[in-house]
């Protein structure tokens, strides 16, 4: 098994990738280099994790032949250029959510990936952990039956300190608010279990913080399979929770309440009958624990690099999540139901942000 050399760029959540993810797999990854414009973060992370190369120049990372994987954890507006440059330099790429700021940019990344030796893995670490992964196995085994209805709540808390970081809270640099930056994880879990969305109706508002982007949102979704989903997301909850509940014909699943690890066990798995309970027991009989969050995603990433098989999270997954975001913003702006998929001729394909009103 090969140890893969990684460079982590951007040391906010990038520090978390190292502390929780790469450090959990010393036999699979070595963090050989870190890059950040902030020299205090560079020294602190470099010292804490004994990283040999520390630089504030991204081009220095691109030019290091010993680096195989570049893990991009910079603010969202920086992702596109860094992904394209890393692919052009022949690297494997990991990049934080939201991958890019529009479906048009996502398609540019997909085109660049198709022409490059490397592949791009978006981060959706909330998928990992034994709770959601068991639910996914039960669904994949065909035991769950018809899906009826799901509810997805993202009730978090963000205040002035969080929004004192200059790129946050602004349409220009964050591209969106609670729907794009925070609830994107639970909404990814929802489509990971249920598949494509057919149409959405959304309302958004900004009530918690004095910011440009939305911090409260609700939406009503019709899924391609005919079932219904309700989404609710706020940054003004005094107790932080993420909670997902899925009612299928043969089983109901409910996540725990951990705001930042909704994939973790235990999930309530409530079968409709003793026969279903038996089938579920059989499907889970040889269960191997799936580590939570970054450790889970990066473990599976390493396995995919070794086998050349599909990445655990792909550009198609990023597209599905950004397509939902685009539809939600388009609906909230127009007050209309929006159908998916969103194609290049859709007015929000190139930019989902509200357009400034024309001055008369």
Which of 21, 76, 101, 259 binds ligand NAD (CB under 6 A)? It is: 76
> Contact region for ligand NAD (CB under 6 A) — 37-45, 214-222, 272-280, 340-348?
37-45
Task: Check residue 236 for interaction with ligand NAD (CB under 6 A).
Answer: no
Which of 31, 73, 89, 311 binds ligand NAD (CB under 6 A)? It is: 73
What is the Cα–Cα distance from 246 to 269, expressed in whole angstroms? 10
**Of the two residues 58 and 248, which places its CB atom closer to ligand NAD in the complex?**
58
Encoded one letter per residue, x for contact with ligand NAD by CB under 6 A and - for no contact, window 237-276 reads: ----------------------------------------
Strand-pairing partners, residue 251, are: 271
Give every strand in the sheet of 251-254, ordered side by side.
268-271, 251-254, 236-248, 147-157, 228-234, 216-223, 197-205, 338-339
**Of the two residues 143 and 155, which places its CB atom closer to ligand NAD in the complex?**
155
For the chain, the three-class secondary structure string (H helix, E strand, C coil) is CCCEEEEEECCCHHHHHHHHHHHHCCCCEEEEEEECCCHHHHHHHHHHHCCCEEECCHHHHHCCCCCCEEEECCCHHHHHHHHHHHHHCCCEEEECCCCCCCHHHHHHHHHHHHHCCCCEEECCHHHCCHHHHHHHHHHHCCCCCCEEEEEEEEEEECCCCHHHCCCCCCHHHHCCCHHHHHCHHHHHHHHHHHCCEEEEEEEEECCCCCCCCCCEEEEEEEECCCCEEEEEEECEEEEEEEEEEEEECCEEEECCCCCCCCCCCCCEEEECCHHHHHHHHHHCCCCCCCCCHHHHHHHHHHHHHHHCCCCCCCHHHHHHHHHHHHHHHHHHHHCCCEECCCCCCCCCCCCCCCCCCCCC
Name the residue with tokens 């909670």.
Answer: 243
**Of the two residues 10 and 291, which places its CB atom closer to ligand NAD in the complex?**
10
Encoded one letter per residue, x for contact with ligand NAD by CB under 6 A and - for no contact, window 127-166 reads: --------------------------------------x-
**Of the two residues 75 and 195, which places its CB atom closer to ligand NAD in the complex?**
75
**Of the two residues 76 and 177, which places its CB atom closer to ligand NAD in the complex?**
76
Cα 349 from chain centroid? 20
> Contact region for ligand NAD (CB under 6 A) — 30-38, 142-150, 187-195, 342-350?
30-38
Task: Check residue 9 for interaction with ligand NAD (CB under 6 A).
Answer: yes
Task: Check residue 62 for interaction with ligand NAD (CB under 6 A).
Answer: no
Q: Which of 112, 7, 100 is nearest to 62 (CA)?
A: 7
> Contact region for ligand NAD (CB under 6 A) — 73-81, 85-93, 139-147, 211-219?
73-81
> Contact region for ligand NAD (CB under 6 A) — 22-30, 36-44, 109-117, 138-146?
36-44
Question: Minimal distance in Å, beta carbon 205 to ligand NAD?
Answer: 21
Task: Check residue 78 for interaction with ligand NAD (CB under 6 A).
Answer: yes
**Of the two residues 12 and 195, which places its CB atom closer to ligand NAD in the complex?**
12
> Contact region for ligand NAD (CB under 6 A) — 35-43, 44-52, 194-202, 227-235?
35-43
> Contact region for ligand NAD (CB under 6 A) — 5-13, 144-152, 266-274, 346-354?
5-13
Task: Restricting to residues 168-187, name those near ligand NAD by CB under 6 A.
Answer: 181
Tokens of 274: 């003793």
Question: Minimal distance in Å, beta carbon 292 to ligand NAD?
Answer: 12
**Of the two residues 22 and 58, which places its CB atom closer to ligand NAD in the complex?**
58
Task: Check residue 7 for interaction with ligand NAD (CB under 6 A).
Answer: no
What is the Cα–Cα distance from 292 to 127, expressed in whole angstroms? 8
Which of 29, 58, 163, 248 binds ligand NAD (CB under 6 A)? It is: 58
Using CB under 6 A, list all residues that contact ligand NAD: 9-13, 35-38, 41, 58, 73-76, 78, 96-97, 123, 125, 165, 181
């Amino acid at each position: 098994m090969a140890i893969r050399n990684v460079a982590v760029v951007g040391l906010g959540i990038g520090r978390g990738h190292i502390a929780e993810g790469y450090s959990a797999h010393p036999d699979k990854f070595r963090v050989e280099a870190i890059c950040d414009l902030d020299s205090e973060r560079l020294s602190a992370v470099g010292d804490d994790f004994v990283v040999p190369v520390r630089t504030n120049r991204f081009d220095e990372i691109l030019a290091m032949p010993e680096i195989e994987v570049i893990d991009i954890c910079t603010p969202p507006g920086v992702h596109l250029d860094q992904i394209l440059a890393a692919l052009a330099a022949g690297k494997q790429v990991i990049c934080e959510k939201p991958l890019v700021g529009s479906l048009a940019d996502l398609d540019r990344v997909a085109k660049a990936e198709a022409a490059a030796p490397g592949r791009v893995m978006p981060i959706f670490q909330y998928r990992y952990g034994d709770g959601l992964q068991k639910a996914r196995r039960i669904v994949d085994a065909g035991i769950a039956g018809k899906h009826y209805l799901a509810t997805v709540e993202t009730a978090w808390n963000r205040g002035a300190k969080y929004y004192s970081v200059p790129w946050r809270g602004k349409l220009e640099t964050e591209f969106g608010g609670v729907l794009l930056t925070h609830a994107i994880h639970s909404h990814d879990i929802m489509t990971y279990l249920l598949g494509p969305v057919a149409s959405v109706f959304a309302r958004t508002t900004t009530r918690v913080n004095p910011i440009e982007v939305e911090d409260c949102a609700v939406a009503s979704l019709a899924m391609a399979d005919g079932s219904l989903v309700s989404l609710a997301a706020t940054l003004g909850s005094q107790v932080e929770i993420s909670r997902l509940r899925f009612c299928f014909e043969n089983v109901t699943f409910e996540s725990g309440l951990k705001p930042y690890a909704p994939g973790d066990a235990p999930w309530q798995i409530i079968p409709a009958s003793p026969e279903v309970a038996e089938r579920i027991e059989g499907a889970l009989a040889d269960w191997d624990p799936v580590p939570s969050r970054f450790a889970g995603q990066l473990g599976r990433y390493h396995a995919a690099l070794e086998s050349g098989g599909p990445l655990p999270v792909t550009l198609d997954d990023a597209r599905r999540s950004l397509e939902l975001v685009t539809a939600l913003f388009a609906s909230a702006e127009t007050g209309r139901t929006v159908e998916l998929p969103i194609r290049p001729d859709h007015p929000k394909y190139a930019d989902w942000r509200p357009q400034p009103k024309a001055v008369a």
